[in-house]
Amino acid sequence: MPIIAPSMLSADFLNLEKDIDMVNNSLADWFHLDVMDGRFVPNITFGMPIIAAMKKKAKKPFDVHLMIVEPEKYFEDFAKAGADILSVHYEVSPHLHRNLQIIKSLGMKAGVAINPSTPVRLLEDVLPNIDLVCVMSVNPGFGGQKFIDQTTHKIRTLKQMIKDQGASTLIEVDGGVTLDNAHVLIKDGADVLVAGNTVFSSADPTDTINRLKSFQK
C-alpha cells in the first residue's frame, strides 16, 4: 500500500487543530508541509513557528518540503521545529550532496524535490544518498493545480534508476493527485502520494484518505 501524506497547505487554517486530529485518526501516514518563501516560488506559506506548534498535536511524521532559496541556512531550525523528512529542491542546491549529508547528520531523512522541467537523470550520481525523491507533478507554488501527464514517464524512469542502483529511495508524487489517477501513479512506481485539495476539499476527508490508501501496486 502507498504512503499517504495529506498536504496541510490545503487544510483549514482557522481550524488547523481539527484537521490535524483528522489526519491523526485516519489511515494517513505522514503530514506533508510545504514551506514557500515567495522567491523560489510565487507564494509564501508558513515556517518554523507554525510547524513547531503543529508538532505538539501531530502523531505522525512531518514530511517538510522546502521551496525556498538557500535552504541550507535553515536545516537546523527545521530539525528543531520537528521535521522528520526534509526535502530541498535540486534547482536551488548547487552543493546537493553536501546538503543531503547535513540533513542526515541532523537526524532527519533527506529528500530532493524536482520541478516538472527537471530531468530525473540529473539525480543519478546522488541517488543512493537520497531517501526520498519528490517528483513535482505541477509547477510548485499553489495547491489545486492540474496534474502534468509527463510525470508518469518520469516516475517510471526514476523507478528503473533506483532498481539499477539497488537504492532504497522512495518516490513521492506531489501535485494534482486524485482518486482517478492515484492507481496509475502507484502502478508506475510511486511510493508516496501527496494529496491536498483532493483530501481537504472532499465531503469526507477521512474516507478519501482511506480510498487513496487502498490502492495496490
pLDDT for res 216: 78
For residue 140, what pLDDT band results from cuts at 50, 70 and 90?
Answer: confident
Residue 29 annotated as catalytic = no
Amino acid at the residue 161: M
Catalytic residue among 29, 63, 131, 174: 174
For residue 198, what pLDDT band results from cuts at 50, 70 and 90?
Answer: very high
CATH superfamily name and code, 3-213:
Aldolase class I (3.20.20.70)
Contacts with 123 (C-beta within 8 Å, 6 or more apart), sequence order: 90, 112, 114, 130, 133, 158, 161
Distance, CA of 136 to CA of 117 (rounded, Å): 9
Catalytic residue among 34, 37, 63, 188: 34
Residue 84 annotated as catalytic = no
pTM of the complete model: 0.96
